[in-house]
Amino acid sequence: MTSRTLRVGVTQWHATTDIAANLATALRLIDRAAADGAQLVTLPENGLMLGTNAQMRAAALHEDSDEVRRLRRAAATHGVAVVLGGMKNRTAEATYNSALVIDADGELVGRYDKMHLFDATIGGQSFEASTVERPGAGPVLLDLDGIRIGLTICYDVRFPELSRALAAAGAEVLLVPAAFVRSTGAAHWHTLLRARAIENLAYVVAPATVHSPDPDFTDAFATYGHALVVSPWGDVLADLGEDPEAVRVVELDLEAVSRARSTLPVLAGRRGADEYNDDPRVLALAGRGASAEGAR
């Protein structure tokens, strides 16, 4: 029996407002990943342009932009699939944060629009993504040579119901391209990604942007880096640390997903959706304080 494997290139770089420089980095890393035998190359969220909300809104690209066409040519040249993990995508109806999916022939076969927008204030800095983009409408799966891959983007990782829905629909690999804030990344990044892998018994592949290595350079917002590949058992197979330009090709053994799901059949043990949607029953009980009061 032939083993099922997928060689995935996970990338990381320091992204700025310089779209041409960011694109050149993306193309270099695609070249390097392809030379190392990657079948799929994953690029981070905001890898083509990372700036303030106003800057990213103004610089939103179209799917038929020269930048996307050059990524498509690179995919076709090397015969690799590419997922641009998230770009500000200006469409006829709205701007979305879209993961664009390019096949090994260079065809743009579709996209996933980020469902959960990062509206938060961290360390006094406001991240109001909804002022830039509109949320997407639903989950998306890729099928690459019979391997199902679930698409998510960055903040989606904090909403486990999305990853679970993708896994329940057959995803063996979950992509989490990110531009994760540095402070929350240090606290939560590894834990969240390992949790999504463990609870779904799936590989997690998470390309990432990273803060500037120059302490005198001020990023619009500093990102954490540490692009990761995590096994279905929660082991970290690759961690790119804080390298400002890096790629690692990791061979994913899809039989490991089958073995993990056979050992812990959590997906098979899920109950019907209606049972989870029922309002919880509330059990009222007296605490020590109430009992003591009543004894007086």
Q: Is 88 a catalytic residue?
A: no
Q: Is 67 a catalytic residue?
A: no
Cβ–Cβ < 8 Å for 273, 267? no
Length of the chain: 296
Q: Which of 67, 88, 133, 154 is catalytic?
A: 154
* CA neighbor of 139 nearest in space, from 160, 119, 123: 160
| Strand 125-128 relative to strand 119-122, pairing | antiparallel
253 beta partners: 5
Q: Which residues, at least 6 apart from 113, have a Cβ–Cβ distance to it below 8 Å? A: 89, 96, 97, 98, 99, 134, 135, 136, 137
- DSSP 8-state symbol, 186: I
| Measured distance CA(166)–CA(104) in Å, rounded | 23
Q: Which of 67, 88, 114, 133 is catalytic?
A: 114
88 beta partners: 97
Q: Is 133 a catalytic residue?
A: no
95 beta partners: 90
E-strand ranges in 114-235 read: 119-122, 125-128, 141-144, 147-151, 173-175, 203-206, 208-209, 228-230
| Strand 40-45 relative to strand 95-102, pairing | unpaired
Q: Which of 45, 67, 133, 172 is catalytic?
A: 45
Q: Which residues, at least 6 apart from 126, have a Cβ–Cβ distance to it below 8 Å? A: 120
| The two structure tokens encoding residue 48 | 């083509």
Active site positions, annotated = 45, 114, 154
